[in-house]
Amino acid sequence: VSKPHKLHIYFFPMIASGHLIPMVDMARLFAQRGVKATIILTPFNAALFSKTIERDRELGLETSIRLINFPFAEVGMPEGCENLSSITSPEMFPKIFKATELLQQPLEKLLEEDRPDCLVADMYFPWATEVASKHGIPRLAFHGTGAYALCVHHVISQQEPYKNVESDSEVFTVPDLPDTITMTKRQLPDHIRDGTKNHMEKFIEKVTEAEMKSYGVLVNSFHELEPAYSEYYKEVVGRRTWHIGPVSLSNRDNEDKARRGNKTSIDEHECLSWLASKKPNSVLYVCFGSLSSFSTAQLLEIAMGLEASGQQFIWVVRKDKSKEKENEEWLPEAFEQRLEGRGIIIRGWAPQVLILDHESVGGFMTHCGWNSILEGVTAGVPMITWPHFAEQFYNEKLVTNILRVGVGVGAQEWCRWPDDCKIYVKKEDIEKAVAQLMDSEEAEETRSRAKALGAMAKKAVEKGGSSYSDLSAFLEELELNRN
Ligand code: UDP
């Protein structure tokens, strides 16, 4: 009897770093477990990962990229605008969404050619369930967030507890969850807050429907991090799920973790040698993901808060296209000269996983994007939480109230497109949170809880660990069900 071919799985991520990075890592993880993994990318995004995939192939892994063109011209977007990070105004959002819908045909063509055994497609492509089923292929959904946020979202959208409050700042409780979680309307998306069904809400309905019809959901998280919610998601929300992360641990060495490809002002060796000159747990890493941007006034406030804290730091400032010409007026006079040796600013893209894994890093100020949180958890680093939008306000509560591995900086409201003078968090609050995390009586306990979680994360992906076993179970099931 001839040996059946390897399981072949397609991975189709949304065009945003917070979705591309974990999906590519996931594909590589599957390849490490003997699967043939094909990642569907647009040319600009493919360039960010091509070196990594080449390295994997040299190691004998069957990982490859297939390209589909991104129809930016068809929707009236500038050339090369293939990533949510290129969006600089809310008006561009519907266009890029329209473009992602147009990816259906080219994907279908590839599915017909290759006939993979399974399609893992981002939640942003609700049409993928139907397209896959037409070809008899099971579709798995990927959200890029944890079970905890998916459960909170489920309860908020089903039960609408925010309807019980009079004002945007009044606190309400999200009912029926394993923990008591309180929120305000200011921390929720616009379409929930203003109660009108805009295109986003209709889109989310489609996503939920497609997910219910899909084969199940792959979650980049590990059971021990959110046990009650991984059960709740299965039992109450009613989804078939597999917790298979943290997928960032599929990166083997510094070369992998550096994630070259994005533009940056620093070379990772420079960053590492700077960190090597510092004491363990003595540096705060400050980064707000791939999409968040700040007003000039807020950036200035952060600079002053960091300076006043007296702590050492690496601060990543995303280059926002609309601010490129501003000549760095967001920095206090002679800031970098004054803080030489104590703090560095990375303009553009930082080698985040590499930095977080360094023993000199003792704290992480984060916008609470799920990947950042999971990477912080995995590295055993306690966090300062500063949520901006999306499900980040939910994630904050997981870090500060449930896992108790961080302190909140006091952000109260959504900030997606900040105007130029708005300050969301004052320098005094930044300074206070930094002091509390890096240098207070509770700091040691918080740190040791974070370290314990980091050890659990690593154990989860080792042979016999929870994520390892969940992935084995998933692969066995696919193997049994394939045609
Ligand atoms: N990231 C990075 N360097 C940066 C900014 C972000 O490597 O300078 C990575 C980070 O490690 C994470 C992803 O980009 O894997 C961001 O995802 P997250 O969910 O944290 O936030 P988002 O960008 O989606 O808001």
pLDDT grade for 109, boundaries at 50, 70 and 90: very high
Instruction: For residues 429-445, give the mean pLDDT.
Output: 96
The pLDDT of residue 70 is 93
The pLDDT of residue 266 is 81
Q: Quote the pTM value.
A: 0.96
Q: With a cut of 0.95, is the ipTM above it?
A: yes
pLDDT grade for 320, boundaries at 50, 70 and 90: low
Cα of 378 to ligand 1 centre, how many Å?
Answer: 14
Does 85 sit in the ligand 1 pocket, CB within 6 Å? Answer: no
Residue 86 has pLDDT above 90, yes or no: no
The pLDDT of residue 256 is 84
Q: Is the dihedral of CA 115, 120, 125, 131 positive or negative?
A: positive
Does 289 sit in the ligand 1 pocket, CB within 6 Å? Answer: yes
Distance CA 263, CA 282 (A): 27
Instruction: For residues 7-32, give the mean pLDDT.
Output: 97
Residues 206-235: tens digit of each pLDDT = 999 999 999 999 999 999 999 999 999 999
Cα of 159 to ligand 1 centre, how many Å?
Answer: 31
Residues 153-182: tens digit of each pLDDT = 999 999 999 999 999 999 999 999 999 999
Cα of 352 to ligand 1 centre, how many Å?
Answer: 8
Residues 252-288: tens digit of each pLDDT = 888 888 877 777 778 888 999 999 999 999 999 999 9
The pLDDT of residue 12 is 98
Type of residue numbered 215: Y
Determine which residue's CA is closest to atom 13 belonging to ligand 1. 18
Does 392 sit in the ligand 1 pocket, CB within 6 Å? Answer: no
The pLDDT of residue 283 is 98
Close Cβ partners of 185 (under 8 Å, ≥ 6 residues apart): 162, 165, 167, 168, 169, 170, 172, 192, 193
34-38, 193-197, 395-399, range with the lowest pLDDT: 193-197
The pLDDT of residue 325 is 52
Residues serving a catalytic function are: 19, 122
Instruction: For residues 339-343, give the mean pLDDT.
Output: 95
Instruction: For residues 419-448, give the mean pLDDT.
Output: 93
Distance CA 64, CA 237 (A): 34
Does 259 sit in the ligand 1 pocket, CB within 6 Å? Answer: yes
The pLDDT of residue 93 is 85
Determine which residue's CA is closest to atom 5 belonging to ligand 1. 289
Does 17 sit in the ligand 1 pocket, CB within 6 Å? Answer: yes
Residue 305 has pLDDT above 80, yes or no: yes
Exposure string of 258-280, with b = 16+ CB inside 10 Å and e = fewer, is bbeeeebebebeebbebbeebee
Indicate which atom in ligand 1 lies nearest the CA of residue 390.
25
Cα of 289 to ligand 1 centre, how many Å?
Answer: 4
Instruction: For residues 66-72, give the mean pLDDT.
Output: 94
Tokens of 96: 């890029």
Determine which residue's CA is closest to atom 6 belonging to ligand 1. 289
Determine which residue's CA is closest to atom 7 belonging to ligand 1. 352
Indicate which atom in ligand 1 lies nearest the CA of residue 349.
8
The pLDDT of residue 193 is 74
Indicate which atom in ligand 1 lies nearest the CA of residue 318.
8
Distance CA 129, CA 278 (A): 50
pLDDT grade for 326, boundaries at 50, 70 and 90: low
Residue 2 has pLDDT above 60, yes or no: no
Supply the DSSP symbol for 85.
Answer: G
Residue 3 has pLDDT above 90, yes or no: no
Does 353 sit in the ligand 1 pocket, CB within 6 Å? Answer: yes
Does 375 sit in the ligand 1 pocket, CB within 6 Å? Answer: yes
Residue 461 has pLDDT above 70, yes or no: yes
